[in-house]
Amino acid sequence: MEGAGEDVPDNANEHCPGTESEAAGKSAACAGCPNQQACATGPKGPDPDLAAISQRMSSVKHVILVLSGKGGVGKSTFAAQLSFALAGMDKQVGLLDIDICGPSIPKMLGLEGQEIHQSNLGWSPVYVEDNLGVMSIGFMLPDPDEAVIWRGPRKNGLIKQFLKDVYWADLDFLVVDAPPGTSDEHISIAQYLKVANVAGAIVVTTPQEVSIIDVRKEISFCKKVGIPVLGVVENMSGLQLPVRDLVFRKSSDDGQEDEDVTREVMLKLETLAPELLSTLACAQVFYVSGGGAQEMARQMRVPFLGRVPLDPRLSRAAEQGKSCFEDSPSPSGLALKGIIKRLLKAIG
């Protein structure tokens, strides 16, 4: 919209009252607007709690949002391993999980079954290490299999409570794992964090176009609400694993039976070409039709931070709630180290 204020989305209807107006999503001008539902349920007007959020966030040097356009792209895995890596650099790190309906961070940090405690300073995060604290709705659920069936206002209320009531103390980095898409939670976090030191957002995608289509929307959202895009990460970018970890199978002509021939293949490799056992086997799992995340980032004029391959050791680390950087270097661990190095350089 020409002449629109900073709280009026670019794709809003004419005479939009603004996302922070009491009439947002409810006035006659809102009829048919693509943002109507989100605006109707989002927080309105000058928020009296912003002062409390500002005070809490004043002790956080850098807030990093981890976003994705589509679910299942490894966003939470990236957020967890980013937090492990930063803590491993002796930084004071907090990880805030605002994926209200799908909180997977407690599992990925090895904190299942933990509970939140309160003190006179506020809610206390659950700590993995002395310098890595975590907050998630997952710690509040009496049954981990229980579905969280909440409407927008209740989700927004919990996000606000996390920001104003959790006592993080002094942090170098607060990593925020957001749900996929551009829903109520994203509008809320963008509004609430206007009073914080937001370094920007990392957007995670997989290589195929069906994911990248939605990532374009996520980047557009960040630009509209004034959140800097620190860069795009292409996750699950091909499969890489050592040849010695491969499993070989031989199918029957009718495809009904599989015979495991791994032992025979490995014996031949050890005899005829032992040097191949230490090489990496690589394969493109997803069909990439549009140039992948790097080309999309170029078109959208945002940084491309790098690619992380599919790697069984990264998957194992996430399942076990551990850092993928603890053991010997893996393809995904090396890729993540390079991405984090570029990320810290961008933040400065």
45 is in an annotated binding site: no
Q: Which two tokens stand for residue 8?
A: 């009026």
Q: How far apart are CA 67 and CA 187, in angstroms?
A: 13
* Residue found by looking up tokens 């293949």 in the block: 265
71 is in an annotated binding site: yes
5 is in an annotated binding site: no
- What are the phi and psi torsion angles at 280 (to 5°)? -95, 135
Judge whether 139 and 126 are in contact, CB under 8 Å: yes
Burial status of residue 179 (CB atoms within 10 A of its CB: 0-12, 13-18, 19 or more) = buried
Q: Which two tokens stand for residue 226?
A: 């004034």
Q: How far apart are CA 184 and CA 254, in angstroms?
A: 51
Q: How far apart are CA 170 and CA 94, in angstroms?
A: 10
101 is in an annotated binding site: no
16 is in an annotated binding site: yes
Judge whether 215 and 296 are in contact, CB under 8 Å: yes
33 is in an annotated binding site: yes
Nearest to 246 by CA among 226, 262, 267: 262
**What is the CA 204 to chain-centroid distance, rounded?**
7
Nearest to 267 by CA among 286, 292, 248: 248
39 is in an annotated binding site: yes
Q: 3-state class of 46 per DSSP? A: coil
72 is in an annotated binding site: yes
CA atoms within 13 A on the CB side of 310: 13
- What are the phi and psi torsion angles at 103 (to 5°)? -75, 105
308 is in an annotated binding site: no
Q: How far apart are CA 38 and CA 44, in angstroms?
A: 11
H or E element, residue 342: helix 331-347
70 is in an annotated binding site: yes
Binding residues for [4Fe-4S] cluster, as ranges, are: 16, 30, 33, 39
Binding residues for ATP, as ranges, are: 69-76
Binding residues, as ranges, are: 16, 30, 33, 39, 69-76
